[in-house]
């Protein structure tokens, strides 16, 4: 028995790596390739003309397209310097993604500071809940935002009460950027908090005892460990907002259309060659950003033994000195802004779910949910199965994404030739257009492949879980990997020298040292699964594999009540789930 166990253990890593690769090929690479190949294979012949058309089209690439189509660099440079230069759709998409990333970092960092460095009642619960905005369907966010920032919204009501003129934020780039921050600042906050909590207190104490001031200690010791995590959040945010689609049209309008809007339209019109070519352009840019970041991360990993986190300070200042008051005053200002950006839209959603057509408070929309549960036809979407499926899929997907992510993180923290390629391959699920993946899953899994007169197909719950795990596992990699690569190698080497297998070292030595990051990764994998829509509707070929976001979409009608009520159910269920995940994960296992 012991020998068997040792045998299994010694091969566990290899087996997991093989399983991970298999899941990726079946649920991502092969399906996606069936669509992307259409960009270069048109009517059976290989061609690059579709690409050439896009790259030289000013509509997509602005002034750059003129350069690519052979105009003189001087003339193009002159246009670039002029005020009416054209960015093109791709340029504009990148521009708004940069703005959205800056806004997300600006709103996410103070939250990380608050959660990592201060102690107050409900801190852990608040930390668990920070990720909730991440899972909300875009239509819910749009409703909340119109109610908050619209002409008759909360913000204008507040401004009016203060005697200030109203602002109209709706249908502007600002509204889109704020909404993107709503979605992604939690991501930045969550990743950064995990890193901040892993900072070893003894290193700071050593610096202080050697005469460094608190500021100097922060800049030299704490910042180098927090900064890469912040960049992780920023890189992920850029990729997400670069591939953004429904929220842009809901809150901005078609003038602010992004690349993904056109990918969607081309797929809908069955113009697959152009859709695939555009999606490859998107993929190249997103992967480029991710890889640039990964190169930075590899060069700047800081070594840590991650033993004892920094002590947290009380929110109530111990002495009324300027040094104590200033950060807290800053945090107070931040909380006011966060209240407007995060809490007001969510509060508006909750309010909409209990407001009737006449504006009076009512529980009718929740009654609708109960009624639909009791009297809905077998082929109609009902709330309870949606809740059950969402939780089951997310739990299974998380349990699958965790080992996948840990394995890939272990494989990509070593130095070897071709690592960049492995990195790119591992991160690709983040960077491919969701619509394209959905279409690929339809072809590759739902319709299946014909092999020797048999058609092998897979759909339903299991396929959904695997697809969700593939979407979520990059987050586990990105949260766990920096910590692993920063671990003191001597720890691993001593354990190996004492006869522990590689898998055992990972389990007993490395993972406990980066545990906050593992829990953060698990929460992300769970969140990705809960919020996922495109792959779910493609793979849920039965009338019984739908999830909460699908139910919300189904309940949207002229009155938003029923859908917002379902949205509140999603809020509550996912909020509770995140609290449970954090509790299960423990604060700091064994530390």
Partner 1 sequence: MTTDESETRRRSARPRTRRRFLTAAGTAGAVALAGCSAERTDGGDGGDGSGSDGDGNDTSDGNDTDDGDGGDGETPTLTVATYTNFIDAPSVSPGEWLKGEFESRYDAELEWATPDNEVNYYVERAASGAGIDADLYVGLTTEDLVRVDERLDGDLFTEAGDVDGRDAVKEGLRFDPFDRAVPFDTGYISLVYDSTTAEAPETFDGLLDDEHAGALITQNPGGSSTGRAFLLHTVSRFGDGGVASDGDGEAVEGEDGDPDYDYLDYWADLEENDVRVLGTWDDAYAAWSEGEAPMVVSYSTDQVFADMEDQDLEKHQIRFLNDQAYANPEGMAVFAEADEPDLARQFMSFMLEPDVQGEIAQRNVAFPATDGAELPSDYAELAQEPTDPVTFTYDQLQGSVDAWVEAWERQFAGN
CB of 282 to partner 1, least distance (A): 16
Sequence-separated (6 or more) residues with CB below 8 Å from residue 266: 272, 274, 275, 278
Residue with tokens 């809901």: 250
Nearer to partner 1, 297 or 582 (CB): 582
The angle formed by the CA atoms of residues 148, 136 and 401, to the nearest 5 degrees, is: 155
In 480-565, the DSSP E strands lie at none
Residue with tokens 């492995």: 422
Element (H, E) at 397: helix 383-412
Which residue of 65, 222, 404, 426 would you call a contact of partner 1, by CB under 8 A? 404
Map residue 449 onto helix, strand or coil: strand
CA distance 458 to 456: 7
CA distance 182 to 589: 31
Neighbours of 25 (CB within 10 A): 14
Does position 68 bind partner 1 by CB under 8 A?
Answer: no
CB of 186 to partner 1, least distance (A): 23
Judge contact between 140 and 552, C-beta under 8 A. yes
| Binding piece for partner 1, criterion CB under 8 A, among 66-74, 231-239, 255-263, 311-319 | 255-263
The angle formed by the CA atoms of residues 363, 340 and 345, to the nearest 5 degrees, is: 35
CB of 82 to partner 1, least distance (A): 15
Q: Pairing mode, if any, of strands 118-119 and 41-42? A: unpaired
Does position 443 bind partner 1 by CB under 8 A?
Answer: yes
Element (H, E) at 51: helix 49-55
The contact pattern for partner 1, residues 150-169, with x = CB under 8 A and - = no contact, is: xxxx----------------
The contact pattern for partner 1, residues 469-508, with x = CB under 8 A and - = no contact, is: x---------------------------------x---x-
| Binding piece for partner 1, criterion CB under 8 A, among 67-75, 146-154, 219-227, 486-494 | 146-154
Which residue of 141, 402, 527, 528 would you call a contact of partner 1, by CB under 8 A? 402
CA dihedral 324, 327, 329, 331 (to 10 degrees): -140
Phi then psi dihedrals of residue 52, to 5 deg:
-55, -40
| Binding piece for partner 1, criterion CB under 8 A, among 44-52, 181-189, 214-222, 246-254 | 246-254
CA distance 403 to 408: 9
Within 132-271, residue ranges assigned H as helices are 138-149, 154-161, 173-197, 201-209, 214-217, 223-242, 246-251, 259-268
Nearer to partner 1, 208 or 554 (CB): 554
What single-letter DSSP state applies at residue 256?
G
Nearer to partner 1, 50 or 230 (CB): 50
Scanning residues 306 to 365, which ones bind partner 1 (CB under 8 A)?
Answer: 357-358
Does position 82 bind partner 1 by CB under 8 A?
Answer: no
CB of 22 to partner 1, least distance (A): 8
Nearer to partner 1, 89 or 517 (CB): 89
Give the closest residue to 142 by CA, choosing from 566, 443, 493, 560: 560
Scanning residues 452 to 471, which ones bind partner 1 (CB under 8 A)?
Answer: 453-463, 465-466, 469
Does position 1 bind partner 1 by CB under 8 A?
Answer: yes
The contact pattern for partner 1, residues 169-188, with x = CB under 8 A and - = no contact, is: -xx-----------------
Scanning residues 376 to 395, which ones bind partner 1 (CB under 8 A)?
Answer: 377, 379-381
Nearer to partner 1, 40 or 457 (CB): 457
Scanning residues 200 to 239, which ones bind partner 1 (CB under 8 A)?
Answer: none
Map residue 355 onto helix, strand or coil: strand
The contact pattern for partner 1, residues 22-51, with x = CB under 8 A and - = no contact, is: xx--x-------------------------
Scanning residues 563 to 582, which ones bind partner 1 (CB under 8 A)?
Answer: 563
Does position 12 bind partner 1 by CB under 8 A?
Answer: yes
DSSP letter string, 200-222 = BHHHHHHHHHTT--HHHHIIIII
CB of 456 to partner 1, least distance (A): 5
Scanning residues 502 to 541, which ones bind partner 1 (CB under 8 A)?
Answer: 503, 507, 537-538, 541
Map residue 252 onto helix, strand or coil: coil
Does position 584 bind partner 1 by CB under 8 A?
Answer: no
Scanning residues 268 to 307, which ones bind partner 1 (CB under 8 A)?
Answer: 268-271
């Amino acid at each position: 028995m012991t020998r068997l166990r040792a045998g299994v253990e010694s091969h566990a890593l290899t087996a997991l790596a093989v399983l991970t690769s298999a899941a990726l090929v079946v649920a991502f690479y092969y399906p996606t390739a069936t669509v992307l190949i259409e960009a270069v294979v048109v009517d059976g012949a290989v061609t690059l003309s579709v690409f050439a058309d896009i790259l030289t089209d000013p509509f997509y690439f602005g002034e750059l397209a003129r350069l690519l189509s052979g105009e003189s660099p001087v003339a193009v440079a002159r246009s670039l310097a002029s005020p009416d230069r054209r960015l093109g759709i791709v340029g504009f998409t990148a521009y708004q993604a940069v703005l959205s990333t800056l806004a997300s970092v600006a709103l996410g960092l103070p939250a990380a500071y608050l959660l990592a460095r201060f102690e107050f009642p409900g801190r852990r619960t608040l930390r668990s809940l920070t990720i909730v905005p991440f899972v909300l369907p875009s239509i819910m966010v749009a409703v909340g935002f119109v109610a908050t920032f619209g002409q008759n919204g909360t913000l204008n009501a507040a401004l009016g009460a203060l005697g200030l003129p109203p602002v109209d934020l709706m249908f502007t780039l600002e509204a889109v950027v704020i909404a993107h921050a709503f979605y992604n600042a939690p991501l930045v906050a969550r990743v950064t908090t995990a890193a901040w909590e892993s900072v070893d207190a003894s290193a700071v104490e050593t610096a202080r005892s050697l005469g460094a001031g608190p500021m100097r200690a922060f800049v030299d010791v704490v910042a180098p460990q927090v900064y890469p995590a912040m960049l992780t959040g920023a890189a992920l945010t850029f990729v997400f907002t670069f591939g953004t689609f429904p929220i842009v049209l809901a809150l901005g309008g078609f003038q602010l259309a992004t690349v993904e809007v056109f990918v969607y339209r081309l797929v809908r019109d069955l113009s697959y060659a152009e859709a695939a070519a555009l999606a490859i352009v998107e993929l190249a840019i997103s992967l480029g950003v991710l890889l640039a970041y990964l190169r930075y991360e590899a060069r700047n990993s800081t070594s840590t033994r991650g033993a004892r986190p920094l002590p947290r300070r009380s929110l109530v200042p111990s002495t009324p000195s300027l040094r104590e008051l200033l950060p807290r005053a800053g945090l107070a200002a931040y909380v006011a802004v966060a209240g407007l950006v995060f809490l007001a839209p969510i509060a508006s959603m909750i309010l909409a779910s209990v407001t009737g057509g006449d504006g009076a408070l009512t529980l009718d929309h929740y009654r609708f949910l109960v009624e639909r549960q009791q009297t809905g036809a077998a082929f109609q979407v009902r709330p309870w199965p949606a809740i059950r499926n969402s939780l089951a899929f997310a739990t299974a997907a998380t349990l699958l994404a965790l080992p996948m992510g840990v394995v890939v993180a272990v494989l990509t923290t070593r130095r070897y030739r071709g690592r960049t390629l492995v990195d790119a391959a591992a991160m690709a699920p983040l960077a491919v257009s969701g619509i394209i993946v959905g279409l690929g899953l339809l072809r590759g899994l739902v319709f299946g492949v014909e092999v020797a007169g048999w058609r092998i197909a897979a759909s339903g719950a299991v396929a959904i879980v695997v697809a969700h795990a593939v979407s979520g596992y990059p987050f586990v990699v990105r949260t766990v990997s920096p910590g692993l690569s920063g671990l003191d190698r001597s720890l691993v080497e001593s354990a190996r020298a004492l006869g522990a297998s590689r898998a055992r070292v990972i389990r007993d030595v490395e993972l406990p040292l980066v545990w906050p990051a593992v829990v953060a990764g698990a929460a992300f994998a769970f969140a990705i699964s809960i919020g996922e829509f495109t792959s779910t509707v493609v793979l849920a070929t039965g009338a019984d594999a739908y999830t909460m976001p699908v139910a919300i979409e189904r309940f949207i009608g002229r009155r938003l009540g029923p859908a917002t009520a379902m949205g509140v159910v999603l809020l509550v269920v996912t909020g509770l789930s995140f609290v449970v995940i954090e509790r299960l994960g423990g604060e700091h296992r064994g530390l």
